[in-house]
Amino acid sequence: MSELQASLLAIGLGVIIAVYVFGWWQQRRYRNKFSAAFEANHTDALYQPGDAGPAARVQQSPSAETADSAAGGEIIADAETTEVPAAELYAANLLDDSCALLDARSDFIIELNLSEPSHAAVLDGLWQRKFDFRKPVQVCGLTLGTKKWERVIAESQVLYSRFRIALQLVDRGGAISETKLADFKDLVLGVAKQIKADTTVPDIRETYHHAVEMDAFCAEVDQMVGVNLVPPGTRLLRGGRIAQAASMLGMTLEADGAFHFLDAQGRTLFSLINRDSKPFQHLTLETSSTAGITLLLDVPRVENPGEKFDQMMDVARELALELQVNMVDDHSAALSEKGLALIRTRINDVELKMCARGLTPGSSQARRLFS
């Protein structure tokens, strides 16, 4: 074998391995994202992940003794540390869209008042451990020049006079624990001590109470609606045919292996997934087949979810006609107009509860908490 042939063979093997690894990675992401919709027992077409109640989402609080010792963060000797009720910490100033989402009900916010204007690099200890808390951490800074709050990144060269460092309290993984809150407090106070910054710190116990309360509410309204499209008998749906029908109705195949119906801002209104938990892939669409597909509506993450449900059902009916399939619930029973009306009512109830709480479905804040 010549050197050229050997090189071409090695390149070919490398490409095959890369494609295989990418496919495996994509399938793993897909399963992690959508498998929750099929794990619980559901009634009708209404999937309710996390419907076991707050306990399924909330991390257990450590014992009182452990919490007390963990919460006792280091007090800064050469700078002022002020502890205030969490509800009083957040002040409404000029914020960019990202920083405006920070709220004492959903974030543990520690404010640093710098002794002299500084770049983001002074927070070096924080940047190194930003991903240690299993919840998003966001840093906002008050610019020296424009006197406006903006999101701060580690590489920023802007001079800031104050920082707000926030740890998100709740997402679909549950509520933050008191131990994590204490660890975060210790980290930020340690950074503040190094740069001689005065700090304003919320009370950990009160913050944890907010986290548990918010998580319980999110668990109550966290609902996903699914409509299954299944061919009669033993007929299988070809992947290429599904892609053609989805494309005709304005849906596009995204990197997560699902077809998405997007709004003008590129946000998902509802999605179409494979019922057998395998992601759709561009390279295998023409050769793949499935026993059914499912349209999914993530209720808290879309604006006007009742209207989006109606829109999704219009697409479901079009797909049913185009692919010659039946619309059924999770128990393979045909969906009736009465059943669909009941689901619509439940969706409206979720919307009313969220709006009464000041959390609009589909808002940036809702998408952040239901992520």
The model's pLDDT over 324-360, given as tens digits with 9 standing for 90+, comes to 999 998 888 999 999 999 999 999 999 999 999 999 9
Give me the chain's average pLDDT, please: 83
Q: What is the CA radius of gyration of the chain?
A: 25
Phi/psi at 343 (nearest 5 deg)? -60, -40
Those residues whose C-beta lies under 8 Å from the C-beta of residue 291, and which sit 6 or more positions away, are: 230, 231, 236, 237, 275, 276
Nearest in space to 262 (alpha carbons), one of 275, 247, 276: 247
* Dist. CA 265–CA 301, nearest whole Å: 14
Those residues whose C-beta lies under 8 Å from the C-beta of residue 27, and which sit 6 or more positions away, are: 257, 278, 279
pLDDT, mean of residues 203-211: 95
Give me the pLDDT at residue 309, please: 97
Are the CB atoms for 230 and 291 separated by under 8 Å? yes
pLDDT, mean of residues 301-328: 97
Write b or e for each residue in 130-162: b if 16 or more Cβ atoms lie within 10 A of its Cβ, otherwise e: beebebebbbbbbbeeeeebbebeeebebebbb
pLDDT, mean of residues 273-290: 93
170 three-class SS? strand
pLDDT, mean of residues 152-168: 95
Are the CB atoms for 188 and 165 separated by under 8 Å? yes
Q: Which two structure tokens, joined as six digits, stand for 306?
A: 């009742």
Half-sphere exposure for 229 (CA within 13 Å, toward CB): 27
Pairing of strands 198-202, 81-84: parallel
Tell me which CATH code domain 35-51+222-369 carries: 3.30.1400.10
Those residues whose C-beta lies under 8 Å from the C-beta of residue 174, and which sit 6 or more positions away, are: 56, 57, 58, 59, 215
Are the CB atoms for 252 and 242 separated by under 8 Å? no
Residues of the chain within CATH 3.30.1400.10 domain(s) are 35-51+222-369
Which segment of 10-19, 38-47, 234-243 scores lowest on mean pLDDT? 38-47
CATH topology of domain 58-211: Cell Division Protein Zipa; Chain: A, (3.30.1400)
Nearest in space to 140 (alpha carbons), one of 169, 172, 103: 103
Give me the pLDDT at residue 98, please: 81
DSSP letters spanning 192-241:
HHHHT-EEEEE-HHHHHHHHHHHHHHHHHH--EEEEEEE-STTPPEEHHH
* Dist. CA 352–CA 101, nearest whole Å: 21
Give me the pLDDT at residue 361, please: 98
245 three-class SS? helix
Sign of CA dihedral 39, 43, 44, 49: negative
Q: Which two structure tokens, joined as six digits, stand for 231?
A: 């061919």
* Dist. CA 2–CA 310, nearest whole Å: 64
Count of beta carbons in the 10 Å neighbourhood of residue 264 = 5
For the stretch 1-35, pLDDT in tens is 566 555 556 566 555 555 555 555 555 554 455 54
Strand partners, 202: 84
For residue 38, what is the DSSP state?
A: G
For residue 61, what is the DSSP state?
A: P
% the chain with pLDDT above 90: 71
pLDDT, mean of residues 61-78: 37
* Dist. CA 336–CA 328, nearest whole Å: 9
**pTM, two decimal places:** 0.74
DSSP letters spanning 250-302:
T-EE-TTSSEEEE-TTS-EEEEEEETTSPPP-GGGTTT-EES-EEEEEEGGGS
